[in-house]
Amino acid sequence: MTMDRDLSGAFDADPPILVCADLQGEYLAQGRRHLIADADAIMPRCLELMTLWRDNLWPVIHLKRIAQAAWFNPASNLTNWIAELKPQPGELTFEHPLPSAYSSARFAEYMSNMRSIRCLVLGFSLDETILSTIVDGFHRSHRYQVIADAVACRRPGVDDVVSYKAVVTKVIGNFAGVLESMDLTRASGRIAV
């Protein structure tokens, strides 16, 4: 599933920013409308990548979905970060009311002030937050890559989550690079992109 779009950036310069999308309790709550079926499968990979970034003091951004109470109640404790994946001091956080992180004026301004950066994306809501953020970023000439084995989709009315994720990932491949987590690291732990 690896696609070679914009993987040519040398790593001698600045490391890519790790963008952690919507790692919130709402997506793990059984019986909830936003449950992500394979969240447990990707959480260890997300933690592994976050640990690599943190150990190397590389930049990490966290996105948090908030919205109207009828859809995703911001007052609920289910919108809280997943304990193991929550932001640490020094890491940026952005709350976004619509699926795209660019619906946060702070995030849009931050990204517009950054030059020649690459963002690697992991987390939840591949078919909403990640897809819409990448399309918005593409139209602003921002470079994103999605780590395919560290993202998950909601599955509203979809029985075949694997096929659904493959289709969404293929669509994202038109706007961003798509790679696997093992494409990022070598045996030494150095980033390979």
| Mean pLDDT, residues 115-137 | 92
Spatial contact of 39 and 27, defined as CB atoms under 8 Å apart: yes
To the nearest whole percent, how much of the chain has pLDDT over 90? 50
Instruction: Please tell me the least confidently modeled range out of 105-119, 147-161, 172-186.
Output: 147-161
pLDDT of 73 higher than 60: no
pLDDT of 163 higher than 90: no
Residue among 193, 173, 180, 175 nearest 151 (CA): 180
Q: What is the pLDDT, as a whole number, of residue 10?
A: 40
Q: In 3-state terms, what secondary structure has residue 192?
A: coil
Residue among 2, 49, 1 nearest 21 (CA): 49
Spatial contact of 125 and 99, defined as CB atoms under 8 Å apart: yes
pLDDT of 60 higher than 90: yes
Residue with structure tokens 């310069």?
13
Return d(Cα 148, Cα 166) in angstroms, integer. Answer: 9
To the nearest whole percent, how much of the chain has pLDDT over 70? 76
